[in-house]
Structure 1
Amino acid sequence: MSPLSSRTRLATVSALTALGAFASLGTATAAEPALNGEWAPFTRCPVDAPAMLAADGLARTPQCVVSTSTSGTIKLGNTTVVTGKTNLQIGIVQNADGTSSVVAPPGGALIAEPATVPGGLFGLMCPSAIPVITGICESLENSSLNKITATMESVGAPYDFNQTAGILTDMPIVALPVRIHLENPLLGSKCYIGTAANPIVLRPENRDYPAFDMSFFQGNGTVDPAGEMSRINLTGSTQNDSTFAVPGATGCGLNVGLINLAVNAKTGLPSASGKNSVTLDNTQTYLTGLNAPGTAAPRAGEVLAQHWHSATR
């Protein structure tokens, strides 16, 4: 397959590469492998997942996607948090009928640095008209117990892909169900905004067009214009969603009911659609796959996995 036809084919699925827009925070994972050359960003691509291995290269084409951002913000009700580095990685199975499905890594699709909530626990629930909470507020001011971090976690597979939206602007790209884990000694270990049953569902959109370029490489990651692998690079775009609703906090503190009530009252939760937003700045997104998966049929998924493993070091 020529470089031009490869570019045309991969551009069709480049909508999927905007996925990093909605990863504001994330969870930690085990140590990731180091990969050579052009494979380097794809440390968590789920190449060994059954759905990826079963992709035959004809009816189903396997690909890897990674999207990162070094900064951004998320606003939930009355609270805005500055986010740190984010990283979203998934496998994509592109179907011949134009649909696609996502395959998440074993540890979840997104990870990132936890963010510090402004004002800590004091800012999150004080002042309060609840006497018990007032006592906690008095003990929190200038206390080391005040610090609170927020971590966003995937709670389900992404869905509702719009391939065209990924290379355009102001169109929802995909739906991502998440929850936010609030951590502080007084909140306990099960304090969340959103749950698996009632998640926050983010639907990111490009606010500007990303820069586009493409590279070719051998299966082991070595750059080669005649290589069997292609990589699309989409960089520099800002992505945003302000349509999602946010449920109230649950599971917070030993006296769960009172702490939930105080956090929700001060933070303005639950918060309806239009009152919340997430923005990721300068997203860097990469998509890779076989140049001509049909030539590897019916083992395209297995060949992709072999190439990924050959690049580990």
Structure 2
Amino acid sequence: MSLVLGAGVALTAPATASAETLPGEWAPFGDCPVDAPAMLAADGSTVVATCMSGAIPNGTITLGTGTMPVGAVNFSFGVLNQSGVYSAVAPANGGLTGDSVTVPGGMLGLMCPSDIPVISDICDAVVDSNLNTVTATMEAAGPPRDFDFSAAATVGRPIMTMPVKIRLKNPFLRSSCYIGSNSNPILLKVANTVQPRPAFSRFNADGTPNATGEMNMLTLSGGILNDSTFAVPAAKGCDFVGLIDMVLNARQGLPASSGTNSLTLNNATFKLAGFQNPRAHVPNQGRVLSERWHAAAG
């Protein structure tokens, strides 16, 4: 299969914060949803609010019969820790961003050659044409499940379950052309296969590095994430009568059951930032975090 997947995964329902350019050590957390109600409600004792970001430069994914590269992914969202039980809060943009990516081979690679007249006409039309270009984008198919930040520091434990769907875009494809859907998503359960390297640092509320600053950051770098448990549904909605769906799925080996697909994300880096002493801000820790974030944003 000739899909190259870029970032576009929305992790949870949108919150209120918008992306900002932040200085210094705050820079990775410009999308942190500090104004989301759940974040503001954190008291610093029973519930602690922090900001999390991640960067993954590349990877590979196998869907059905083919293996292809994954484009660079960057993400940022809020994390709530309630006595060791974690939950994620996404910003308004969904939490993930990435470069635009294209499908090598385009429509020709997805469906051609074909002896079905309508499909063969499309194949003829896209040869040596810009109409051959296809893009693939991951999108949210629901909120994340079973989020556990502590698993990001270990090997073999799923960090979260991400329900996603993949949109295929081309002038010959309807806007409803997806692999997976909200009701039948691809469920990715990524876990480290290589132990990440931890590092701790502190900084002032304005983002300036300071070994005694009130803000603390944990960085986990060098991890390799993998999942080989997910199933991949058939593509649907690519045309009005289902011919493209049928041909694309037959050529790409979809649907594909669990155990026949895999995802590997290389050199993952996670950053978690919050107060060195959240109890110093009880009972308004979430609100104070929001104030610090906005002050840094100017």
TM-score normalised to the size of structure 2?
0.91
State which of 108, 112, 119 in structure 2 corresponds to 1:122: 108
Q: Which residue of 1 aligns with 2:8?
A: 27
Q: Which residue of 2 aligns with 1:305?
A: 290
User: 1:147-198: CA deviations, max 9, x gaps?
Assistant: 1110111222211134443222122221011111111111122211111111
Q: Which residue of 1 aligns with 2:219?
A: 233
State which of 179, 190, 215 in structure 1 corresponds to 2:201: 215
Q: Which residue of 2 aligns with 1:48?
A: 35
Matches within 5 A, 1:1-313: 25-27=6-8, 32-96=19-83, 98-253=84-239, 255-313=240-298
Describe the shift of the 1:157–1:54 C-alpha distance in structure 2 as closer, same or farther (beyond 3 A). same
Distance in structure 2 (CA, Å) of the matches to 1:31 and 1:50: 14
The number of equivalent residue pairs is 288
Residue 103 of structure 1 contacts residue 157 of structure 1 at CA under 8 Å; is this kept in 2?
A: no
Describe the shift of the 1:249–1:239 C-alpha distance in structure 2 as closer, same or farther (beyond 3 A). same
Residue 155 of structure 1 contacts residue 178 of structure 1 at CA under 8 Å; is this kept in 2?
A: yes
Residue 141 of structure 2 contacts residue 182 of structure 2 at CA under 8 Å; is this kept in 1?
A: yes
Residue 9 of structure 2 contacts residue 139 of structure 2 at CA under 8 Å; is this kept in 1?
A: no
Residue 250 of structure 1 contacts residue 256 of structure 1 at CA under 8 Å; is this kept in 2?
A: no
Q: Return the letter of the residue paired with 2:286.
A: G
Residue 69 of structure 1 contacts residue 87 of structure 1 at CA under 8 Å; is this kept in 2?
A: yes
Q: State percent identity of aligned pairs.
A: 47
Residue 9 of structure 2 contacts residue 138 of structure 2 at CA under 8 Å; is this kept in 1?
A: no
TM-score normalised to the size of structure 1?
0.87
Residue 9 of structure 2 contacts residue 95 of structure 2 at CA under 8 Å; is this kept in 1?
A: no
User: 1:281-304: CA deviations, max 9, x gaps?
Assistant: 111211111111111011000011
Distance in structure 2 (CA, Å) of the matches to 1:205 and 1:298: 34
Residue 67 of structure 1 contacts residue 283 of structure 1 at CA under 8 Å; is this kept in 2?
A: yes
Which consecutive unaligned segments of at least 5 residues does structure 1 have? 1-23
SS in 1 for 2:121: helix
User: 1:250-288: CA deviations, max 9, x gaps?
Assistant: 1113x3411111111111111111111111111121111
Q: Which moved more, 1:77-86 or 1:271-280?
A: 77-86
Describe the shift of the 1:256–1:60 C-alpha distance in structure 2 as closer, same or farther (beyond 3 A). farther
Describe the shift of the 1:307–1:256 C-alpha distance in structure 2 as closer, same or farther (beyond 3 A). farther
SS in 1 for 2:113: coil
Distance in structure 2 (CA, Å) of the matches to 1:68 and 1:158: 18
Which consecutive unaligned segments of at least 5 residues does structure 2 have? 11-16
Residue 76 of structure 1 contacts residue 271 of structure 1 at CA under 8 Å; is this kept in 2?
A: yes
Distance in structure 2 (CA, Å) of the matches to 1:304 and 1:31: 15
Residue 60 of structure 1 contacts residue 93 of structure 1 at CA under 8 Å; is this kept in 2?
A: yes
